Structure 1
Amino acid sequence: MSRRQSAHKGEGTAKRRRHRLTVLSGDARVIAKVWRLQPLYVILLAAHALLWGFVDTLAVYYRTALFNAMDSDVPFWNAARWIVYIAVFYVLLFIPDFLYNLILKPILERRLSTRMRRELYEKAQRMDLACYDDPDFYNQFVWAMRESAPRAIEVLNSVERVLHNLISSAAIVGLLFTLNVWVSIIMLVGNLLGTFVIDSIGNRVWVRVSEECNPLWRREAYIDRVYTLPAYAKELRTGQMSAMMQHDLEQNTGQLLDACRRRGRAITLLYGVGWNLISQGTRYGTILIMIGELASGRMPLGGFAGAVSALWILGATMQSLSDALAELPKHALYLDKYFAFLDHENRMVSGTCPVPPFESLTFENVSFSYESVKTDEETALEERVQAYEKKQGCQDTEGQDKLRTEEVLHDVSLTLRRGEKLAIVGYNGAGKTTLIKLVMRLYDPTSGRILYNGQDIREFDLADYRAHIGAVFQDYCLFAATVAENVMGGRYDASPESEAAVRKALDSASFTERLATLEKGLDTPLTRELDENGVNLSGGEAQKIAIARVFVRPYELIIMDEPSSALDPVAEYELNHSILNAADRQDRTVIFISHRLSTTRFADRILLFADGCLRESGSHDRLMELNGLYAEMFRMQAEKYRRGEEQETA
């Protein structure tokens, strides 16, 4: 063997050793996590494994005693007595076993699953919003939410099997030594070789199969997503992509089959020949030895029966032990994603300062850019797609792989004062919604500062700071809950005070008339996802529910991002007028974004953004006098609405 080969082998051995240590550490961390969340589960699991570990040994002992009784002077009565003992023993044993498996264990597993989910929910609520822009991280989060609890339970089940079979194997080997030392040694060595050595080699073969097939499985999963996600539906029906995807699938399947054929021969030889020769040869060889011992009178009938029984039980327990040990690394690797999600540290660090009442908000030379990085898998496949399309002459691929690293906002400076009504306008992609996300500190600026009452917002306690701001985004959501719960959330307790607050908020959002038509009023369930009698609101009605959320709490700063986009222009005008009047009465500061410039006339000041920059600022009349981009947009919209009215009249 050359030095290079020796070094490579040593490096591989060290890598496998580190992998085992990582796996053991992961399994230990899972058990520690379960112990913290549900300690009773761990205690009962260990007790159950300990109990059944000795049951196998007692079964061998009972068989030995039973056959010895049958070989005695009064075989019937002695055997009958032992049969009664065995029956009573198993009846008493199976009662608590049924209680554990059918009642206690399912309850404890459900509680564990709920507590793990709650931990994930709390972590997700604290995550930086930027994490949702990273597809790899988002997929990891979805996987952790779906798989973590079942995998943790599988780890515990595997640990229970390891404990059970380890105790059982050790006890049976000890019992066998009292019957025949040499037979015990042969059985032990044969089972160790047949089970652990063969399985260890087999696992290495399967690891190589996995390493070879992982890229192919990832590509197959990507093709599945392309055909199942709505975002790709139009492209598949109108472009040339479907044929290429199906060709890729066929090619991928062929490569997977080739890998399975190559490794399948090794697996067949290993288990079909090696395992059978060692395990079965040892098993039947020791039986022949024991038959000789029985025939010569050196082993009693009970000892022979017990030894044969122990032989089969030992083989089964060692195989089960090997399988359980092989399962632990698989589950631990899956749970790495769960712990990676929990261990993720936010880039956005909370300050410690308490937040004073709102007086002003200032942007000082603020710039911001999103950073989205494609996964290796997506990049590789997109390169193939582009190469295919270029070959087919479908489209020009120049510049398609440019990442979103350009600035969305550039050198923005502005000041908002208490009680002011500020409108932000501009074309799509101008940076309006991004500006709002920076105000709420969902993101931090790439450069520049945002000051709250003259103090950098990064110095304030993050939760306290956000608690001073109420926002309605254009991508709002309604929940499968009642009207009142959708407005007030978990703080709604059906008390007269809560009900009055919800009704007042709904009135501020112009929902009172629609509420009067709902049979159950505030207790009306929304959506039919969980309740077939639920009510599905129209887009405009749903927006009013979302708007009511910001009026049910005493937010000092209210942000409206396209709060009434689902309404017609007249209804939107009336709703915005109602919102601003309510804000005036309650001395609240309002920022609202709208594409319909007719609604911005209510604002004290209008900011127009274009290409990420603040281009114009002033009242409606001032900007119309300026005759710039705002005036041009306003006249274009006015003409559009005028033509629409003429068509309706005609």
Structure 2
Amino acid sequence: MKKVIKNQWFLWKLCFKVCPGYMIYHLYDGFRYQGIIFLEHVLGIRYVLHCAEFHEPFWKAFAYIGVILLINMIQIIPDGYFIHGWTYKAKPMLYRSLKEKMYEKAAEIDLSCYDNPKYYNDFVLAVAEAESSINRFLKMCNMMVQGITVIVTTGAFYIMTDATGILFVLASFVLRFLVSRVLNKLNFDVRLKVNPLERKRNYVSRVFYLNDYAKELRLHPKVGDKLEKEFEETNDEIAKEQKRVGLKRTFLNFTRDYVVGDFIMDGLYITYLVFKATVLKTLAYSDAVVLFNRTSSLRRGFANIADVVPMAQENSLYIDKIRAFLDYKPKMELNVGETVPSNNAELSLKHVSFKYSEDADETLKDITLKVKPGEKIAIVGYNGAGKTTLIKLLMRLYDPTEGTITYHGKDIKDYKPCDYRRRIGVVFQDYQMYGATLLENVLMTDSKAGDYSEEAAKEALERAGFSKRLQTLPHSLDTQVTTEFDKDGINFSGGESQKIAISRAFYKDADILIMDEPSSALDPIAEYELNKAMESAAKGKTVFYISHRLSTTRDADRIILLEKGCIVEEGTHESLLEMNGKYAEMWRVQAGRYETA
């Protein structure tokens, strides 16, 4: 319970900090709602029935009803604003506050976390349950206040009128609490088990509706058939899991709603009241009517308290995932370390080895390499040789399992990762286009921040070979990329998108440029123009090329050939051809395309 309370307190502090007025009124609303009901349905009905039973003047009952009506008219104004106005403004603010914290943390966590299936599943669950956790918490707060209000007001009325009757309600409360606790734990366990299955099902759903897959699904209908089969199998697995607990869940719901509720309260308690009023004559008929009429409310009050505790326990399990995610301490703290000295410098790898997990094989093995400032290095090799992994280590997206990488003579672990990465401009092989303006896709930041140069962005696009296309765009740099959110947006071709991605590296004006398959989607003329642009843009910069197309690599100062995570050949294009080894073999395969007259 201590952890449960701490987790709910975590959400209360977050919500109260964002919208204190809303949270206070949210609690007051529970008290107000049940307070009015008590005045109307307990004291009001009892007073009217007493007037009839004991022959009191009618005007007294009418006057009491008038007072209740006036109170309702007064309180309905703030209540209407709260329900129809404030709630619609405040809830998105609460969601945003928690989601922003999670998005900020997502940008900080180590890339290796994405390689851990358990962590990634918990991460997805935490993000998916963020809004629901807040909704459950708000509901619990309201239920708690309503429950306490009912118990204090109606409970006091019971004690003053017929104290014995409250034992029936307490018995119902205790049993409902125990059953609800078991039921909620069962629901949470099921949620954890079906979460990976739901992720797989959602993935298949995305494949069928996202534009990225539309063409291939039409060209390869059997892929769609296979995905449909996987969708059905996943649904069957989810249904099987739900069916596994179906009988137990049905029994628990039946016990909670019928045995604990209807039988004890509607069966046994009404028999007790009739006996006291008609046989013992120790209870007025009007009091018996009000007591029975309020049993459901008092039962709901206790039930609210009974349900809040297991609900809080269930919610706490989700909040645990959220807090564990938010409390995760990255191994690479972005702003911890020394500032990287200005200007370019030698980059050195000494006996660097790396594997993605303890159980995995080494992706890189004993890599030793020195790169002088301004040197142009081409890294080549067949798929799976470790080229992209090596680049990730150079960018310090991962740390080596063994060995060191130094820059300016210091281990790059000593530098602030954010400062070190600012010195690197990169175009990934699996680059992404974002649903933002063309300018923002070049800047890779919010253009409204104002700290940017449109001229520099245009120059970067020009260097990347995009200037002619830019001139045809009516909105120029303000053109929306993709039509997903703007009907006037543009879905650029693969080659155009790659040029935009390349312009990001040019705009950054970094000391080190990394080009991972920079011309894979370009035609030969565009590739030639890109190579020329790279020559001028990369003056004084250290450049790493990763490419299968050896026309991009032949002019490099040095070529590194990787195979199975090891450097097997190293030298200039000419020296490697003279060596007549694996590089020469790769070149001969492609030579027909790249030989010049």
The normalised TM-score by structure 2 is 0.87
Could you tell me which of 351, 356, 360 is aligned with 2:341? 356
Provide closer, same or farther for how the CA distance between residues 240 and 516 of structure 1 changes in structure 2, counting only shifts above 3 A. closer
Residues in 2 aligned to 1:251 and 1:531: alpha-carbon distance in whole angstroms: 38
Residues in 2 aligned to 1:92 and 1:187: alpha-carbon distance in whole angstroms: 35
Q: Does 1:442 align with 2:397?
A: yes
Provide closer, same or farther for how the CA distance between residues 349 and 23 of structure 1 changes in structure 2, counting only shifts above 3 A. same
Provide closer, same or farther for how the CA distance between residues 637 and 39 of structure 1 changes in structure 2, counting only shifts above 3 A. same
2:129 match: secondary structure: helix
Residue of structure 2 equivalent to 1:602 = 555
Residue of structure 1 equivalent to 2:417 = 462
Kindly indicate whether the alpha-carbon contact (under 8 Å) linking 1:140 and 1:337 is maintained by their aligned counterparts in 2. yes
Residues in 2 aligned to 1:597 and 1:416: alpha-carbon distance in whole angstroms: 20
The residue identity in structure 2 corresponding to 1:320 is N
Residues in 1 aligned to 2:201 and 2:526: alpha-carbon distance in whole angstroms: 44
Residue of structure 2 equivalent to 1:62 = 44
Kindly, what percent of the aligned residue pairs are identical? 33
Q: Does 1:485 align with 2:411?
A: no
Q: Does 1:24 align with 2:5?
A: yes
Q: Does 1:323 align with 2:307?
A: yes
Residues in 2 aligned to 1:282 and 1:597: alpha-carbon distance in whole angstroms: 87
CA-CA distance at 1:57 after TM superposition: 2.9
1:490 match: secondary structure: coil
The residue identity in structure 1 corresponding to 2:578 is E
2:403 match: secondary structure: strand
Q: Does 1:137 align with 2:92?
A: no
Residue of structure 1 equivalent to 2:274 = 288
Unpaired stretches in structure 2, ≥5 consecutive residues: 208-212
Kindly indicate whether the alpha-carbon contact (under 8 Å) linking 2:265 and 2:295 is maintained by their aligned counterparts in 1. no
Question: Can you list the C-alpha shifts for 1:102-160, whole angstroms capped at 9, x where unaligned?
Answer: 21122111001111111111100001111111222222222222221222221121122
Residue of structure 2 equivalent to 1:314 = 298
Size of the alignment, in residue pairs?
Answer: 583
Residue of structure 1 equivalent to 2:171 = 193
Residues in 2 aligned to 1:554 and 1:240: alpha-carbon distance in whole angstroms: 46
CA-CA distance at 1:553 after TM superposition: 2.4
The residue identity in structure 1 corresponding to 2:387 is K
The residue identity in structure 2 corresponding to 1:317 is G
Residues in 2 aligned to 1:494 and 1:270: alpha-carbon distance in whole angstroms: 56
2:312 match: secondary structure: helix
Q: Does 1:627 align with 2:548?
A: no
Provide closer, same or farther for how the CA distance between residues 238 and 329 of structure 1 changes in structure 2, counting only shifts above 3 A. closer
Residues in 2 aligned to 1:324 and 1:569: alpha-carbon distance in whole angstroms: 67
Q: CA RMSD in A?
A: 3.5
Residue of structure 1 equivalent to 2:499 = 544
Kindly indicate whether the alpha-carbon contact (under 8 Å) linking 1:26 and 1:332 is maintained by their aligned counterparts in 2. yes
Could you tell me which of 16, 19, 24 is aligned with 1:43? 24
1:484 match: secondary structure: helix
CA-CA distance at 1:270 after TM superposition: 7.0
Q: Does 1:343 align with 2:298?
A: no
Residue of structure 2 equivalent to 1:399 = none
The residue identity in structure 2 corresponding to 1:564 is S
Kindly indicate whether the alpha-carbon contact (under 8 Å) linking 1:293 and 1:299 is maintained by their aligned counterparts in 2. no
2:551 match: secondary structure: helix
Counting only pairs closer than 5 Å after superposition, residues 343-422 of structure 1 correspond to structure 2 as 343-349=327-333, 351-357=336-342, 358-371=344-357, 405-422=360-377
Q: Does 1:423 align with 2:378?
A: yes
Question: Can you list the C-alpha shifts for 1:59-115, whole angstroms capped at 9, x where unaligned?
Answer: 322333344455687734333322221111112122211211221122111001111
1:329 match: secondary structure: helix
- The worse-fitting range, judged by mean Cα deviation, of 441-450 and 325-334 is 325-334
Provide closer, same or farther for how the CA distance between residues 341 and 100 of structure 1 changes in structure 2, counting only shifts above 3 A. same
Residues in 2 aligned to 1:605 and 1:525: alpha-carbon distance in whole angstroms: 40
Residues in 2 aligned to 1:160 and 1:242: alpha-carbon distance in whole angstroms: 43
Provide closer, same or farther for how the CA distance between residues 217 and 238 of structure 1 changes in structure 2, counting only shifts above 3 A. closer
Provide closer, same or farther for how the CA distance between residues 294 and 77 of structure 1 changes in structure 2, counting only shifts above 3 A. farther
Residue of structure 1 equivalent to 2:472 = 517
The residue identity in structure 2 corresponding to 1:361 is L
CA-CA distance at 1:640 after TM superposition: 5.5
The residue identity in structure 1 corresponding to 2:123 is F
The residue identity in structure 1 corresponding to 2:111 is L
Counting only pairs closer than 5 Å after superposition, residues 90-239 of structure 1 correspond to structure 2 as 90-178=72-160, 180=161, 183=162, 185-201=163-179, 203-204=181-182, 207=185, 224=201
CA-CA distance at 1:336 after TM superposition: 2.1
1:602 match: secondary structure: coil
Unpaired stretches in structure 1, ≥5 consecutive residues: 1-19, 373-402, 646-650
The residue identity in structure 1 corresponding to 2:375 is E
1:413 match: secondary structure: strand
The residue identity in structure 1 corresponding to 2:395 is M
The residue identity in structure 2 corresponding to 1:284 is I
1:113 match: secondary structure: helix
